[in-house]
Structure 1
């Protein structure tokens, strides 16, 4: 089981997201807890009104909406009764057992999952702290529930990927029964995973990730009404990378991934992605050092083996003007120039041109007692140096490391 917790400022958006799924026959309300009426008697006013009345008891707390998804292995067939019991157990264990909450079973993905909508404001007006709730209470609850209900355990890779999303199929959406709702649902599924997980610092960097799932965030042309108003729409891309189908405004998606909202992520991610720069540099340097003169396309293939996507940006004439590196392992995104000049489009192409040709070293069969020899000589010193450089780890720059360094220097002065 994989649990995801999304806290926000809008109970209305979280509730309407799930209610819209119900109207589209993509979800069902299977359970509710601590409401004045039975589940099948609740209308939209009962649901939203109960949650909003609690939230109003603490006006100082702005983040008062809690939207949880519990995701299960695709092979697990769980009936509604079991899902209800799992939801109750989970909410009790994370400290929300006495809160009013709604449980929706969604059927719009390849794996079974439920969504839970609630508030963190209690009946006495006090708030339930959300800081590190995913890392602490939720993680303990997940492990206990996996044991109690004999669920397939989610290893660290599964928890990181949250049952990996697939690229959007534009053709299916365009010719489906409800193109608009299908497009919105497909885009939302991708954004739910990409936006909170990946560390991007600009719209082009975010699009470098989204394009791998056949989606793009579009501001329109500089003369367009959308651009001038600071708006943003999300589009589906076909296999040629062309925008097709119905554009979905950011404001129409439940968690409101507007440009203003994304800009907050841009600032936060500047620092968050920094420790992962060297891994990308190392991978590029190692490939160039060991593979020699290769094409950019070949470099893409080699980096892909290390879970790094190299996104090449070129104009209509085929001239390459930019490179973006998407590290899926650390979920970090970098423009080439952010890593250093030698990783930018122009400099990297020059480095490739200057790389020597390297032929494969094939062992020569020799008599039993003789020392084996190779047809080709070993790598030249320059290449060995490049490989060593590729594996060089950045110095730690934490205050503790700097303190240790000063202590070492002080000891040296004392003994001289």
Structure 2
């Protein structure tokens, strides 16, 4: 069983999303605790009123809403009664046993799964402890699998379930396939623009088209989703975003893009991506695009290269890192991976690959300020990070060794 926990500030939106599924016959309410309802009939307004008095006592928590998705293995036959017990056990193990909650059974995709909506603000106004939440959640899932005799997934199966799945047009049921894929991307990846969103979608045989126009002086703005073939061409009919729900529409996506634009990629993540790029460049025997793209894909990175219409010049480099769930321009990782610089690498045996230390795994991940200054001086002396070959001594490696020696002396309290 896979559990995914997401938190937000939109009280109305999380109930509206699930109620929309109920209204469309794609979900049902299995149980609830401390929620107002009338003869097993729930509506969004009553759900919001049910937790209002809980939220009033704590206005400091920015994201009080907790939306949990529980996903048993498709091979598990879970009855509704077991699903209720299973959900209650999970909440108890995560510290939410006294919280109001509502449990939905979703059947909008081929795999039956369950959504729990609750809040992380207790009756006393204190926030529920979320320390080591992911680790505790995994432990809770393993205990529940044993208690209810559910399938225990292998590490390979866990990775497979967490990844978006490519759409296969001949398999049919395109709407549900697109729903599953787009939802995984929207929830899992940091995406800042519609162009980046489209780039990630195209990796999974789907695309999105922006529609702008006017009908009788009314401005029409919308999105259409389509499946694509192996060549990137649209197949089948285009589907309006409204068929999938509000989270697939332009307004919701623009809000996501705005939030993700404020998130900064850490230097550690940049170092991680840069190191993989450098190592794969060193592994290239023929220095072709296809070779570099294939090597990076094995390491969990998709390199998307865009040429001008006449195919004469490389003008765009996009890096989709599935390890950190980031979408980056090549120049954001380092100017050495911009379109102009990377174009010099392909089919050019004389191109000198930058940052030789990255290939050897010697570069410190979090350099101190003194070390950064030393690296800057080194880059200036050898030409902005480029390795000068032809000698028996690697100047970067020698500088690194001197730096390590200096660290040892400083640790002992001695000056050099």
TM range (shorter): 0.7 to 0.9
Q: What is aligned with 1:310? A: 303
Q: How does 1:12-411 map to 2 (within 5 A)?
A: 12-35=12-35, 40-124=40-124, 126-129=125-128, 131-132=130-131, 134-168=133-167, 183=175, 188-200=179-191, 203-216=194-207, 233=223, 235-239=225-229, 241=232, 245-248=238-241, 252-253=246-247, 257-271=252-266, 273-288=269-284, 291-294=285-288, 296-319=289-312, 320-355=314-349, 390-397=359-366, 407-410=407-410
1:107 and 1:61 mapped to 2: Cα distance?
32
Consecutive unaligned residues of structure 1, counting only runs of 5 or more, are 177-181, 357-381
Is this contact kept in 2: 1:205–1:335, CA < 8 A?
A: no
Is this contact kept in 2: 1:17–1:254, CA < 8 A?
A: no
Structure 1 residue matching 2:78: 3-state secondary structure? coil
Q: 1:46 to 1:394 in 2, by over 3 A?
A: same
- TM-score, structure 1 as length reference: 0.73
Structure 2 residue matching 1:325: 3-state secondary structure? strand
Q: 1:408 to 1:199 in 2, by over 3 A?
A: farther
Q: How many residues align?
A: 373
Deviations 1:241-281 (A, max 9, x none): 45762442799218964324323223324227324223332
Q: Choose between structure 1 and 2 for higher RCO, CA contacts under 8 A separated by at least 6 residues.
A: 1
Deviations 1:199-219 (A, max 9, x none): 455554443322212445666
Range with bigger deviation, 19-28 or 254-263: 254-263
Range with bigger deviation, 205-214 or 34-43: 34-43
Range with bigger deviation, 53-62 or 10-19: 53-62
- TM-score, structure 2 as length reference: 0.73
Question: CA shift at 1:224, angstroms?
Answer: 9.7
2:355 and 2:99 mapped to 1: Cα distance?
59
Consecutive unaligned residues of structure 2, counting only runs of 5 or more, are 372-402
1:99 and 1:412 mapped to 2: Cα distance?
53
